[in-house]
Structure 1
Amino acid sequence: MRTILAALLPLAVSAPADEGMWLFNRPPVEPVKEKYGFEITPEWLDHLREASVRFNNGGSGSFVSKQGLILTNHHVGAGLIEKLSTPEHNLLEDGYLAKTPADELPCPGLELNVLRSIEDVTRRVEAAVTPDQSPAEASAARRAVIAAIEKESMDATGLRSDVVTLYLGGAYHLYRYQRYTDVRLVFVPDVKAAAFGGDADNFEYPRYCLDCCFFRAYVDGEPADTPDFLKWSATGPAEGELVFTSGHPGRTDRSNTLEELKHLRDEGFPYRMEQIYRAETVLRAWADRDRENARRAKQAIVGTQNGRKAIGGMLNGLLDPAVMAAKSESETELRATEAAAFDEVARVQDELSEIAVRLDLLEGGSAFGSGLFYVARTLLRAEAEAEKPDGERLPEFQDSSRLSLELDLFADEPVYKDLETVRMAASLTFLCAKLGADDPLVKKVLAGKSPDERAAELVDGTQLDDIPLRRQLYENGVAASDDPMVALARLVDDEARALRAEAEALDERDAQAHAKIARAKFEQQGDSVYPDATFTLRLSYGVAKGYGDVPWCTNYGGMLERHEKQGGVSPFDFSPQWAAHAGDLDPGVPLDFVSTNDITGGNSGSPVVNRAGELVGLIFDGNLPSLVSDFAYTEDRGRAVSVHSAGILEAMRKVYGATRILEELGF
C-alpha cells in the first residue's frame, strides 16, 4: 500500500512557480534544474540539513560557525531574552552582547534539534491498523506502533526520534534529531532596531528591521563542535538571484478539503479572533498601568498582535470567493473517484464542530490561561500515565518525549504571579462567555466566585512556581497534594480526556479518508506533490524579487527616512545606542529584502542561502498578501521577508561593536 509514497526519490515533475515546502528526502531537483539551471546535489543538501536548527519554542535557525554559534530571529529568541531580563537590566530594551565566552547567558528550558536522518515507516504504521478496528481502536493501535518505533530508535541511536505524519495520514516518516539543551545567549540587538515599526509595520513591506540574534550550543560545558555551518556572505543576494530557505514551517492547510476550509472560515478562525481580541485588550490595559507591567507583558502582547494579524489575514483569504472557487475546482477530478472519502471528511468536520469549543477550552487549556495550570496538569497526568505501558500513554508522556517534557517542566524561569492572575481571570471570563455561567462544570471551576476572585485565589494559593516542589511532585506524585491549581486540573481532567479521546477517534477517521484522497492525488499528479507543513525541516526555493512598484530590498537610508517622517516617535524611534551611531551607517547598505520563497509560521529564523550554500539572509516575516499561502501559494504579490546578510554585518560593526562575533564569522 502507498508504494508511491514510500519512494524517497528526487522529484521528476516540475511544480508551478516557486511553490513548495519540500521534504529533504524528496527534494525538488528537476524543477530547480529546469527553471534555474542549478542542480541540488546530495552533498549540498546534506550540508544545509546539518547546518539547520529547530528551536523548540517554534522557530528555526542555523549554525554559522564551527563553534556552535547559531543565528535566528530576535523575535524567536525574545521570549527567552525576556526571561533573562530583570527590572534593572531589560535585555529586550537594551540589547545584550557577551564580551567574553563566560558572559554568554544560559537559556533555561530551551531545546534545539538538528535533523540527522529520515526513515520511511509508513508500511509499519499502516500494518498496525486493520479494517475491523473501530476508529478508537485504530487510533490506539496507531499510537502504540508509533510509540514503539520512536522508543526503539531512541534506544538504538540516543537521538530524539519523532514519527511525523505527512499528507494528513498518507505517509509516516521517522525523523531523528540531535538535541542541544545547553544553549546560551551571545548577542541580541535592542528591540527598537530589531522590531522597528512595531505592530504598525508587522506583515507589511517595505520593512526596516534588524530581526536577528545569536545563541551558542554547548555540549558538556564546551561550545559544540559544528563542522557543518553556513559561511556568511558579506555581499548577500542580488536582485533576481536564486535563493533557498531551509527551515521548519509550522503548519499549512493546503491539503484540506473545501469543507474543512469552510469550517475554518465560518467557525475556527472567528472563534480564534474573538480569543485574540479579548486577550490583547486585557494585556494592553494591564501593561499600560505600570512600566514594570509593560516589561513583563511585552512578549505576550507582541505574540497576541502577531496572532491577530496572521489569523485575520488567513480569514480574509478564505473569505475571498476566488480562493474557495479555486479549491472547489481543484477537487472536481478527485471527487469523481473518491466521493466517499470527501463525504467522510465532511462528516468528521461536522462532528468535530459539536465538541470543538469544549475541546479547546478544557483539553486545549484556553479556559485556564496561566502557565501554572499547565504545570499542574502535566504533574497530574505524568502520575497517571506512568502506570500505563509506554504505547498506551498520551504521546507527550511516552519515553521518547520524556527529556523534552522534563526540560520544559523544570526550567528555572521567572513566574510573575500578577501577570498570571490577569491571564487566568481573562480566560475564566472567556470560559463563562462560551459555555455560560450556569454550565455545571463552569460552576465547579468558579466555586461560587467571580472569574477575577477565583483567578486570584488559584494563582496566589498555588506553590507550583517553586521548581524543587515541582520536581518532588513529579517524582512522588500529586495524589496527596492539596495545591489549588492541581485541584483545578483534577476537576476538569476527566472531561478533558474524554473530549480528547473523542477527537482522536474522529482524527483517525479523517486520516483514513485523507489517505484515500492522497493516493488518488498521487495517481493523478505523480510524486510532485509535497506535504503540508508539520514543523519539520523543509526546503523552499525562489528569487529575490519585488512586486508591483515595491522594490526587492530596503536599506539603512530608507530606515532613517522613515524614522524622520514619522517624527521619531514609537514604534519608529531609535534606542540611545542606535541614535548615537545612526550617522555612521552606510545608507546604501541593504537591510531587508523580499523573495518568492514559500514559507509560513515556523520559518522565522530560517537561513536563506545562495547556490554556494552561503548565508545571504535571515527569514523573519511574510507580507500580508502571503498569508493566504497557508491554503494556496501565490507568487503574484506574496513574499517572504528577510534580513540581508550585509545589513546585519553593518549594524554589528558600527552600532554594537560586536567584534568577537564578527571575527568568529570570518570578518
Structure 2
Amino acid sequence: MGAASWSAEGMWTLDNLPRAQMQASQGHAPDAAWVDRAMRAAARLAGGCSASFVSSSGLVMTNHHCITRCLQQLSSPTLDRMATGFLAREREQEIRCPDFEINRLEAITDVTEQVRAATAGKQGAAYQAAEDAARARLTRECRGSDVENTRCDMVTLYRGGQHQLYKYRRYSDVRLVWAPEAAVAAFGGDPDNFNFPRWCLDAAFLRVYEGGKPAPVQHHFPFRAEGPQPGEPLYVTGHPGNTQRLLTVAQLEFLRENLGTEVIPRNSEIRGVMLQYARGDAEAQRLAQGALQGIENGLKVQRGQLLALNDPAVMDAKRSAEAALKAFVASQPELAARTGDPWAEIEAAQRIKRDLDAEMQLLEEGRGFLAAHFGYARTLVRGAAERSKPNAERLREFNETNLPQIEQRLRAAAPVYPAFEQARLAWSLTRMRSQLGADHALVRQVLGQRTPEQVAAELVAGSRLADPAERLRLWAGGQAAIDASADSFIRLVRAIDADARALRKRFESEVQAVERRAATRIAQAQFAQSGRNAYPDATFSLRLSYGEVAGWTEKGQPVAPYTDFAGAFRRHTGAAPFALPAPWLAAREKLNPAQRFNFVTTHDIIGGNSGSPMVDREGRVVGLIFDGNIHSLGGSFSYDGSRNRAVSVHAGAIVEALRTVYEAPSLVQELLGSARP
C-alpha cells in the first residue's frame, strides 16, 4: 500500500481540536461528549508514558517497555520477571509496583492572564521567580486539601503563549497484572527498533487500587478485538513528551550541535560500558540489559533527530517560516512595538547556554554522578532546605503539590545493586574529569588525589541510602538530620550544592527566563498571524491525534500496513533478539497464523505516546501505540504525512495471546466486557 489517502498533522489539546479539518478530511469529528469520555478514560504513568483505562475495575493498559522499571524492581538474582513475564490469575496475586503513579486528567483551566500579570515588566531572575511563585500558588489552590489523591500541574503551551492548569486524579497504589516475556515484547530488539514490519507484543496491564481494593472507574475504553480497517477514522489519546517544532532557528542550531558533540557521544560511551558490564555473571547481564534497552532506544532517537536537523530541507523550511513571521510582525507597527526582537534575544541566550551547558549537565542535572544514591541524596538535602521556605519561594520541584510523589519514591522498596551503581558512577566521574579537566575546581573537590574508581567505591560503600527506612528517617528528620548525617552521598551533595544552586540560578536567569519571555512574544505574534489554528509543542500533557491505517512507499517499494502471527514465526531464529519464548513455540499450532499482529497508521506521535490507546469513532480500543517508524524520528521538528508512521500492537493480537498463549480467560473476559464488577 502506498501513501495515505489523507494525513493528519498535529498533537492537539482536547480543548482546541480542529473539528472542521477533521470532518473535511475523514468525514467524522468527535463531539464534546466523546472528548470528555476520552479524557477520563486516558491516563498517564507519571514516569513518562501514556496509558488508558480498559475496564470499570481500574484495569490499565500500557506498553511493556513502560513498566520495565516495575519488572526489574520485582525481580531478584533468582527471579527475572523481564525474562519470565508475569500473570496474576487472581486479583490477590497482583503485585504492587513500588514507585509507580498513574494520573487521570479531570479538568483543564486556563490561567494565562494570571501568569502574565505576575510576570509583567519583569526580566531575568525576577521573571523566573515570579513565574515559579505563580506556579506554586496556582497548583496549590488547584489541589486544595486532597494531597494524596489530587495532582495539579501548570502546563505551558506555545512556548509561553498560553498557561493552563491540569487537574489530575492521582493513583499511587498501582499493581502489576500481566506482562509478557521481554523476548516477545521487544521481539527483534535494537535491529528492528523504529523499523517496520514488526512483530512485538509490547503490551502490559496494571490495576489501580483505592483502600486496598480495585478502584472503580466510570469511563474506560472497551476492546474491539477485530481491530482497525484501512480508511476508517482512528484516534490516539496520549501524552507526547516533548517536541521542538516551535523552537527558533538559533535554538535548533544549538540542539543540533549539542546532539552531535555531547548527547550522542555520551550515550555511546555508556552503551559501551554497559556492554562490557554485561560480560560478567548472569546478574550483571540482567542489570546491564535493562539499562541497554533504554540507552539503545535513546541513541536511535537522537541519531534520527540529528539526521533531521542536518537535512537542508528541514532547516530551510524553519528559516523560511521564521522569516515570514518576522516580516508579518514588521508589517504591523503596533505588533512590532509590542514584540521587539525576541529572536535576537534567544540567539544571545544560546551563546550563554553553550558556556554553561557542560557544567549544568554534570553538576546540576547530576550526569557527573550517575547513581541512584546520588538522586536520593540530592532529594533529601534539598528537600530539607526547601520545605522550610514558603511554598512560593521553593525550587519548583519541591512545591507542596509535588511532595506526595517525592515521598512515594523515597518510601519505595526498589532494590539498589552496589556493584552496578559503582560501575556507572565510576564511568560518570571519569567522563566529568575528561570534560571539565583535571584542574577544574569541581573535579579537584570530588576526586582529590583519588581515581574515579576509588571515589565510586568509597561513596557506594559509605552510604545507607539504598534502605528506604534510612531515606524516610532523613526526610522526616529535616535539616537537623541532614546536618548530622555522615552518609557519604549526603556529605557529597552538601559539599557541592551551593555551587550547583548558583549555576542553576545563573542558567535560569540568563538562559531559561530569556527564552521563556521571548517565546511568549513570539507566540503572541503567531496568534496575531494565524489565530489558534495551530497546535502547541508536546509537553507530556494529554493530546489527541487522528489518522488512519496506511502503509507507505520505501525506495520505490510498498510497505504493507499489517503483519501477522505467521510472520513472527518466520522471523524466529532461536537466537536473541529473534527468539520467541517457549510458551509461544508451545502454542504455535493453536494460534491463528492470520491474526494481525502489528500495524502502522498516519498518526502524528512522539516519545511519551508509548502506551497510548488507539481507538475508533465509538471509543473502542483497536490498538496500542508502542513505536514509530524510522521516518518518525524527525517528528520532533516536523511531520511528513507521506512517510511518518505510528506503530501499534493490534487489539486482536493482545486478546489472542492472552487467550491462547497465556491462558488468561478472566483477563480476556474483563477486556471484552464480561468481567466481574
Q: TM-score, normalised by structure 1?
A: 0.96
- Taking the aligned partners of 2:139 and 2:260, their CA distance within structure 1 comes to 34
Match of 2:543 in 1: 538
- Tell whether 2:223 aligns with 1:232: yes
Equivalent in 548, 554, 558 of residue 563 of structure 2: 554
- Taking the aligned partners of 2:487 and 2:528, their CA distance within structure 1 comes to 57
Matches within 5 A, 1:211-610: 211-336=202-327, 337=329, 340-477=341-478, 478-505=482-509, 506-548=511-553, 549-563=558-572, 567-610=573-616
SS of residue paired to 1:152: helix
Give the C-alpha shift of residue 134 in structure 1.
Answer: 3.5
Match of 1:28 in 2: 18
Deviations 1:512-537 (A, max 9, x none): 11111111111112211111001111
Cα contact 2:259–2:302 (8 A) shared by 1: no
SS of residue paired to 1:578: helix
Cα contact 1:247–1:538 (8 A) shared by 2: yes
Cα contact 2:102–2:172 (8 A) shared by 1: yes
SS of residue paired to 1:591: strand
SS of residue paired to 1:289: coil
Cα contact 2:7–2:642 (8 A) shared by 1: no
Deviations 1:78-124 (A, max 9, x none): 11111111222211101111011110011111111000000000000
- Taking the aligned partners of 2:504 and 2:260, their CA distance within structure 1 comes to 20
Stretches of structure 1 lacking an aligned partner (at least 5 in a row): 1-15
Match of 2:198 in 1: 207
Match of 1:12 in 2: none
Equivalent in 618, 621, 629 of residue 612 of structure 1: 618
Cα contact 2:123–2:514 (8 A) shared by 1: no
Match of 2:183 in 1: 192
- Tell whether 2:639 aligns with 1:633: yes
- Taking the aligned partners of 1:500 and 1:423, their CA distance within structure 2 comes to 24
Cα contact 1:117–1:177 (8 A) shared by 2: yes
- Taking the aligned partners of 1:107 and 1:79, their CA distance within structure 2 comes to 9
Cα contact 2:44–2:104 (8 A) shared by 1: yes
Give the C-alpha shift of residue 269 in structure 1.
Answer: 4.6
Equivalent in 107, 118, 131 of residue 108 of structure 2: 118
Q: TM-score, normalised by structure 2?
A: 0.94
- Taking the aligned partners of 2:199 and 2:340, their CA distance within structure 1 comes to 49
SS of residue paired to 2:559: coil
State the AA in 1 paired with 2:170.
R
Matches within 5 A, 1:164-179: 164-179=155-170
Deviations 1:254-291 (A, max 9, x none): 00011111111112453111110111111111012111
State the AA in 1 paired with 2:132.
R
Equivalent in 142, 145, 151 of residue 153 of structure 1: 142
Give the C-alpha shift of residue 397 in structure 1.
Answer: 0.9
Cα contact 2:22–2:29 (8 A) shared by 1: yes
Give the C-alpha shift of residue 36 in structure 1.
Answer: 1.1
State the AA in 1 paired with 2:44.
R
Q: How many residues of Structure 1 are paired with residues of Structure 2 in the alignment?
A: 648
Match of 2:87 in 1: 97
SS of residue paired to 1:657: coil
State the AA in 2 paired with 1:249.
P
Match of 1:6 in 2: none
Give the C-alpha shift of residue 157 in structure 1.
Answer: 6.1
- RMSD after superposition: 1.2
Runs of 4+ in 1 over 4 A off after TM superposition: none
State the AA in 2 paired with 1:593.
F
Equivalent in 135, 140, 152 of residue 129 of structure 2: 140
Match of 2:333 in 1: none
State the AA in 2 paired with 1:644.
H
Deviations 1:288-319 (A, max 9, x none): 21111111222211000111101111011101
Cα contact 1:170–1:511 (8 A) shared by 2: no
State the AA in 2 paired with 1:643.
V
Question: Which has the larger displacement, 441-450 or 171-180?
Answer: 441-450
Question: Which has the larger displacement, 498-507 or 591-600?
Answer: 498-507
Give the C-alpha shift of residue 156 in structure 1.
Answer: 5.8
Deviations 1:37-66 (A, max 9, x none): 112111101111111111012101111100
- Taking the aligned partners of 2:46 and 2:257, their CA distance within structure 1 comes to 31
Deviations 1:400-433 (A, max 9, x none): 1110111112211011011100110111011011
- Taking the aligned partners of 1:161 and 1:395, their CA distance within structure 2 comes to 13
- Taking the aligned partners of 1:147 and 1:630, their CA distance within structure 2 comes to 29
Deviations 1:188-227 (A, max 9, x none): 1111111100111111111100000110000000101012
Cα contact 1:396–1:405 (8 A) shared by 2: no
Matches within 5 A, 1:53-64: 53-64=43-54
State the AA in 2 paired with 1:307.
G
Cα contact 1:447–1:454 (8 A) shared by 2: no
Give the C-alpha shift of residue 339 in structure 1.
Answer: 6.7
Equivalent in 33, 38, 43 of residue 33 of structure 2: 43
Give the C-alpha shift of residue 21 in structure 1.
Answer: 0.5
Cα contact 1:458–1:485 (8 A) shared by 2: yes
- Taking the aligned partners of 1:657 and 1:106, their CA distance within structure 2 comes to 22
SS of residue paired to 1:270: helix
- Taking the aligned partners of 1:345 and 1:405, their CA distance within structure 2 comes to 33
- Taking the aligned partners of 1:602 and 1:536, their CA distance within structure 2 comes to 10
Sequence identity, in percent? 41
Give the C-alpha shift of residue 130 in structure 1.
Answer: 2.8
- Tell whether 2:132 aligns with 1:127: no
Match of 2:332 in 1: none
Give the C-alpha shift of residue 597 in structure 1.
Answer: 0.5
Deviations 1:171-190 (A, max 9, x none): 11000000000010001111
- Taking the aligned partners of 2:288 and 2:411, their CA distance within structure 1 comes to 22
SS of residue paired to 2:79: coil
